[in-house]
Amino acid sequence: MISATLYSDPACPWAYSESPALRVIEWRYGDQLDWRLILVGLTEEASQYEARGYTPVRGVLGQARFRERYGMPFSTQVKPRMSATSRACRAVVAARLQHPGSEWRVFRALQLANFNSPMLLDEDAHIAEALRIVPGIDPDQIVAQIDADQVVEVYRHDKDDTRKAAGSAAELQGKTATTDGPVRFTAPSIVFERDGTRLVAGGFQPVEAYDILVTNLDPTLHREPPPEDPAPLLDRFPDGLTTQEVAALMAGNNEQPDRAAAEGALLTLVAAGAAIRHPLGDDAVWQSATAGDAMDFGARQAVAVS
């Protein structure tokens, strides 16, 4: 078994744009990888972003560039102000403590809402609304635990863990930051470990980088090939996939994802009644029509700004 620790933050567009590569690694190696999510905690106060010169307009212009280059859904709606990430990160921690395993769904729901709605990550009402699509949790209860002592303690441990990247391969590659003092991993960074061997993929990386590290740690793993059509992918990922994620999952070795072909195949499934298309930003999330306990995108169409 290989352990995979992902250092990430729901406000990071690099981390969000890495989603297609992460889905590919999940598909190829499945439960042969034991994943753990560590929250970076990019900012405690919105003023930290403002001091660095960030504005809502600058943010949305940057998102448009990410959308063009990497293909994940983004809205170009300008938010009313900057927002810190700490409370959203602690919501993920609260989910981890209350319902172990649900933190992944909570994290993805926050990402999707953050980049495709007017959501402010430091507004508790917005966090709760974003989480209404997640089955098996009580969003209001999660939010009520954001300031709980245990949640804050675990969150601080996550932050401390993230800020131990000095001397790592990530630092050598220029994939670390010192925005709040110590050398920290940038989001997304992954540390793969097996039998005392520790390999670091710092920051945004191509899927091939992850693949090389995993296969060198254990060349005896089963490596699932891409499917011929998207139906098995929607079954494997019942919470839904974006068009770019499906395109990446269907690409063969060293092949560039064919987004147009993926979308055509997905629309064919929709026409046959085998898939559902949920509009999101400039794109969509696609789900199997027979998905069971999956995220319910009808539960929350958008996060309203009060």
What is the model's pLDDT at position 292?
82
Tokens of 114: 């953050």
**What does the alpha-carbon distance between residue 194 and residue 298 come to, in Å, rounded to a whole number?**
41
- Every domain of the chain with CATH number 3.40.30.10 lies at 2-217
Q: Which residue has the tokens 């921690």?
A: 93
| Cis amide prior to 118 (ω within 30 degrees) | no
Tokens of 265: 């195949």
Mean pLDDT of successive 10-residue segments in the chain (306 residues)? 98 98 98 98 94 92 95 95 97 98 98 96 97 97 98 98 98 96 97 98 98 98 97 98 98 95 98 97 96 82 48
Q: Where are the alpha helices (DSSP H) in 117-242?
A: 124-130, 139-144, 149-162, 169-172, 207-217, 231-236
- Distance linking the first and last C-alpha atoms of the chain: 46
Domain 2-217 has CATH 3.40.30.10: yes
Tell the burial category of 169 from Cβ atoms under 10 Å away from its Cβ (0-12, 13-18, 19+). Answer: middle
> Which positions ≥6 away from 157 have C-beta within 8 Å?
none
User: How far is Cα of residue 282 from the mean position of the Cα atoms in its chain?
Assistant: 18
What is the model's pLDDT at position 302?
52
- Contacts of 60-65 with C-beta under 8 Å, sequence gap 24+, read 62/13, 63/13, 63/115
The CA-CA-CA angle for residues 297, 303, 306, to 5°, reads: 160
**What does the alpha-carbon distance between residue 111 and residue 131 come to, in Å, rounded to a whole number?**
10
- Every domain of the chain with CATH number 1.10.10.10 lies at 231-299
Report pLDDT digits (tens) over 149-199. 999 999 999 999 999 999 999 999 999 999 999 999 999 999 999 999 999
What is the model's pLDDT at position 194?
98
* CATH for 231-299, options being 3.40.1210.10, 1.10.10.10, 3.30.1510.10, 2.60.40.2470: 1.10.10.10
